[in-house]
Amino acid sequence: MYVQGDPLSWVSNHRFHHQFADTERDIHSPIVGFWHSHMGWMFDLSSIKEKQCGKRNNVADLEKQVFYRWIRKTYIIHPLSLATLLYSLGGFPYICWGMGARVVCVYHATLLVNSAAHTWGTRVWNTGDLSRNNWWVAIMTFGEGWHNNHHAFNSSARHGLEWWQIDMTWYVVKFLEAVGLASDVKLPTQIQRQKMAIKSLSVN
């Protein structure tokens, strides 16, 4: 609904990013430039996956699920259906605000994780990449801005690992777990935290 691609494509790009984080094979790293990491990579189609990652399928596990295959095949129908509904309810102004403004805002908030959260902020974990914990990106993205945490423990459902690190997404996950819609919710263990910890370094 945010027009960022179907789930299989999105997860594939995200997995490649973690596999090759902030190397020449990362599809959206600021080592190529801030603009490239923010939006430029989306327009450089020759560099996405085939050029940098070698056409490997890294979402075979998800492709086994009928739901995700159906979403991929019908992806374009969903935002078009929403646009049609909005137009029927309020005409062109609803399209402008409900599709245009909404999508632009969410796009840039998401893209700031690729750019700003790999450029400015603090590092508390030895991740071997440029990921940073960026408080203002975290506020805009409901927790994803605690990005050094995410790269250190990418299977953790919680990104804001400290009590003061606001992570609204974590509370949504906890609610879904409580009502039985989420399971196997993972958090980093104390041993994992000790292994990854480095002295906090602020990078502005």
Please say whether the dihedral angle defined by the alpha carbons of residues 182, 58, 119 and 114, taken in this order, is positive or negative: negative
**Residue corresponding to tokens 């492709």:** 63
DSSP state of 146: B
Asked if 52 contacts 13 with a C-beta cutoff of 8 angstroms, the reply is no
Residue 98's pLDDT band, with cuts at 50, 70 and 90, is: very high
Roughly what angle, to the nearest 10 degrees, separates helices 7-19 and 66-73?
Answer: 110
User: Quick one: average pLDDT of 99-122?
Assistant: 96
Would you state the pLDDT for residue 55? Answer: 63
Q: Using one digit for the tens of pLDDT, what is the confidence trace for 71-84?
A: 999 999 999 999 99
Quote the pTM value.
Answer: 0.88
Give residue 53's region: left, alpha or beta (phi > 0; psi -120 to 50). alpha
* pLDDT tens digits, one per residue of 22-72: 998 898 999 989 999 999 988 876 666 555 566 668 899 999 999 999 999
Residue pLDDT, tens place only, 136-169 = 999 999 999 999 999 999 999 999 999 999 999 9
